[in-house]
Amino acid sequence: PAKVTVPSLLEKKLLRRPISAITAYDYASARLVDEAGLDVVLVGDSLAMVMQGHENTLAVTMDEMLLYTRGVRRAVKRALLVADMPFGSYHTDDREALANAIRFVKESGAEAVKLEGGRERAELIRRITAAEIPVMGHIGLTPQSVHRMGGYKVQGKTMQAIDELRTDALALEEAGCFAIVLEGVPRELAHIITEELRIPTIGIGAGPDCDGQILVLHDMMAMTFSPPAKFVRRYADVAGVMRKALEVYRHDVEARTFPADAESYHFSREVRELMHE
Ligand code: KIV
Ligand code: NA
């Protein structure tokens, strides 16, 4: 299977072939994702919540994002590797933001970066793409805006919000984004935006009419600890599998049935004979 690239994702939209995307934050899960043939692996700043246990995505740093991305990089051979720019890494000035985008490419091997926001990011996106770094946009429910939004709420519900999100999507395409994540918006709005853009839309909580879908790996595997959002489909109960295995392991250790003799190393015959002399 051929390497997924920015141009090959654009071509998928033209051919109306759905784009599959998922998050991964570590070598092992990224290998499974890549070997399963998904198109896009995102090292999302959602790792602040699912890997680090923070309440929202705001605390994770550039250095932490780079650390996780490097592990994922060693695993991913075919998928396109996108890294999320964390909160604060692109909000001060465009020079610093560009320097941070470059760090993802140079220090962690990311092939593209993602950042949240609409029109207000257009100039920055122009600068990053001019530096040869592909940018994925992200509008709608943008988790880094949690305090402004007053929680994680579906966006694009009023006529004004709908118009603004359509304008934002067009501004991101115009600024040079190669794809846009649409998160937490009515499916009808995602449908409209998907038809208005030449670049692919990747939906999460945005209905089935997007050009692609993305989920947080830990959500779809039931490796998160709060009730899932409406848009999460549980494809496996990995936490349940692990819980059971851990309980059995603990039982076996306490009952001294683990390890068995066959799971142990032994003296060689030579040493055994010397011991008996
Ligand atoms: O951080 C993340 O996981 C994301 C995706 C859900 C789009 O931004
Ligand atoms: Na994110």
CA angle 201, 138, 7 (to 5 degrees): 45
Q: Are residues 53 and 157 in the same domain?
A: yes
In a domain, 118, yes or no: yes
pLDDT digit string, tens, across residues 18-58: 999 999 999 999 999 999 999 999 999 999 999 999 999 99
Q: Are residues 37 and 159 in the same domain?
A: yes
Q: How confident is the model at residue 114 (pLDDT cuts 50, 70, 90)?
A: very high
Q: Are residues 143 and 30 in the same domain?
A: yes
pLDDT digit string, tens, across residues 232-260: 999 999 999 999 999 999 999 999 999 99
Q: Are residues 218 and 262 in the same domain?
A: no
pLDDT digit string, tens, across residues 199-235: 999 999 999 999 999 999 999 999 999 999 999 999 9
In a domain, 47, yes or no: yes
- Cα 83 to middle of ligand 1, angstroms: 10
Q: How confident is the model at residue 95 (pLDDT cuts 50, 70, 90)?
A: very high
Which ligand has the nearest atom to the CA of 210?
A: 1
Torsion of CA 68, 70, 71, 73, to 10 degrees: 120
As a whole number, the mean pLDDT across the chain is 98
Backbone angles phi, psi at 83, to 5 degrees: -115, 140
pLDDT at position 36 is 98
Domain that residue 263 falls in: 241-276
- Cα 182 to middle of ligand 2, angstroms: 11
Q: Are residues 185 and 251 in the same domain?
A: no
Q: Are residues 45 and 62 in the same domain?
A: yes
Residue 196 annotated as lining a ligand binding site: no
Q: How many CB atoms lie within 10 A of CB 168?
A: 22
Which ligand has the nearest atom to the CA of 202?
A: 1
Query: What is the mean predicted confidence (pLDDT) over 64-86?
Result: 98
In a domain, 94, yes or no: yes
Q: Which residues pair with 138 in a beta bridge?
A: 117, 181
Global pTM value: 0.97
Which ligand has the nearest atom to the CA of 22?
A: 1
* Residue 125 in contact with ligand 1 by CB distance below 6 A: no
Q: Are residues 84 and 142 in the same domain?
A: yes
- Cα 4 to middle of ligand 2, angstroms: 21
In a domain, 222, yes or no: yes
Q: Are residues 45 and 100 in the same domain?
A: yes
Which residues are catalytic, by number?
Answer: 183
In a domain, 112, yes or no: yes
In a domain, 1, yes or no: no
Residue 114 annotated as lining a ligand binding site: yes
Q: Are residues 199 and 258 in the same domain?
A: no
Q: Are residues 246 and 211 in the same domain?
A: no
* Residue 204 in contact with ligand 1 by CB distance below 6 A: yes
Q: Are residues 227 and 245 in the same domain?
A: no
Question: For the chain, what is the domain count?
Answer: 2
CATH, residue 129: 3.20.20.60
In a domain, 41, yes or no: yes
Q: Are residues 124 and 261 in the same domain?
A: no
- Closest residue by Cα to atom 8, ligand 1, is 44
In a domain, 128, yes or no: yes
Rounded distance, CA 202 to CA 41, Å?
Answer: 12
Residue 106 annotated as lining a ligand binding site: no
* Residue 60 in contact with ligand 1 by CB distance below 6 A: no
Q: How confident is the model at residue 277 (pLDDT cuts 50, 70, 90)?
A: confident
